[in-house]
Structure 1
């Protein structure tokens, strides 16, 4: 199994590379800290699995997951490392096509188990993640209407449109074409959205949109490990 590592922190990237070098049956296809060329790099390196930090630099890890799955026709699996196992973030990762989900604190043995699991064609979720999903599934409160949700009240109608499209993994150029506005205007709106919501990245905006119910994951059946 050939694995491509996508991790912005140099020390962490080196540590994961060293770990994979010790695992039987695994070949390090390549490693990068930037998200801009991940799809092309995965194709060139012949990666079977991409082990990726969802907060990769210069890109949205969830959108990259969709792109990797689409470009490979579903042949390249993606194991995402998340900063949290909040239900909506996990759901969005699965909806994007992730085959495995880890936290950044996952121990080496768990990481090895995840790679082995996805190599066998199964979905890997840690036990705590499964527990969170099950708890949410059996105790979902009625969702407040979007117009009444105070977390979205600072945003204008146009900013809500922008946030919704960002959460659906559209890039700025695609959003501009969809709304028939300039790419610069999209960037300005998105900057105001991040400022009003006190967020620092596009990925955080995606998770926020799901947490507030502005968008919901598409239904998809998944096999759990």
Structure 2
């Protein structure tokens, strides 16, 4: 008899009552989800997350008292195995999304997301994967990487620890390719790609795939608008 894994513990943070209640009720329809709390601002989100240790936080960006970016920074920096943050945004290339990713968010969702997409996103992030759809990765990161005035010198130096193949994999990740797409591009197995990605994260001291994408652009490994070979 197989043992069922524990439910994914979720906190919903949004300053609009209707929005956070709606998301909480929708998530509560899934048997593998447990919405343990909601929060009306970033400060409350940080407090309840430290008390309850959820797996995933749905985090609005614009909130009073403490915005979602600062809350994300505090939660992501508190522990390597802490809550994964999914940013909620109206998008339209929201200027705050890139800051949120740099703060340690694992991805983002549009507020008009479909129910199935929401459920999938929570499960993906809870499993430790990043939520950056390839097409959106190219658009979002290419836009906001241009806001960085200079490559990060210390991070650039850290790239020297990567093997040529690991560097190549990082570049392809940053261009928005999924593991199966990278495997096809390099003519290797998907498992081999997963191993390379894991080693890249370990060597660069990164939390997840999202941070790897941001690092690749900040170091100048990938130039906005360019395409790898």
Partner of 2:39: 32
Give the equivalent residue in structure 2 for 1:208.
none
1:69-95 deviation digits (Å, cap 9, x = unpaired): 122344211011123252753322211
Tell me how far 1:129 sits from its aligned partner: 2.2
Separation (CA, whole Å) in 2 of partners of 1:46 and 1:127 = 30
Quick check: 1:15 aligned with 2:15?
no
Gaps of at least 5 residues in structure 1 are 144-218
What's 1:222 paired with? Answer: 213
Conserved in 2, the CA contact under 8 Å of 1:2 and 1:26? yes
Structure 1 contact 85–129 (Cα < 8 Å) conserved:
no
C-alpha distance 128-103 of structure 1, shift in aligned 2 (>3 A)? farther
The aligned counterpart of 2:170 is none
- Contact between 1:102 and 1:126, CA under 8 Å: does it hold in 2? no
Extract structure 1 runs of 4+ deviating beyond 6 A.
none
Which segments of 5 or more consecutive residues in structure 2 lack a partner in the other structure? 1-7, 150-209, 215-229
What is the TM-score of this pair, normalised by structure 1? Answer: 0.57
Q: 2: distance between equivalents of 1:30 and 1:119?
A: 16
2:52 corresponds to which residue? 45
Alpha-carbon distance in structure 2 between the residues aligned to 1:40 and 1:107: 29
Query: 1:185-224 to 2 correspondence within 5 Å?
Result: 220-222=211-213
Cα RMSD after superposing both structures: 2.9
Q: Which of 63, 69, 72 is the equivalent residue of 1:56?
A: 63
Residue equivalent to 2:162:
none
Judged with a 3 Å threshold, the aligned counterparts in structure 2 of structure 1 residues 12 and 220 are, in CA distance, closer, same or farther, namely closer
Query: Quick one: distance in 1 between partners of 2:26 and 2:60?
Result: 16
The offset of 1:136, in angstroms, is: 4.2
Distance 1:135 1:45, change over 3 A: closer
Q: TM-score, normalised by structure 2?
A: 0.56
Relative to structure 1, the CA distance from residue 29 to residue 72 in structure 2 (aligned partners, 3 Å threshold; closer, same or farther) is: farther
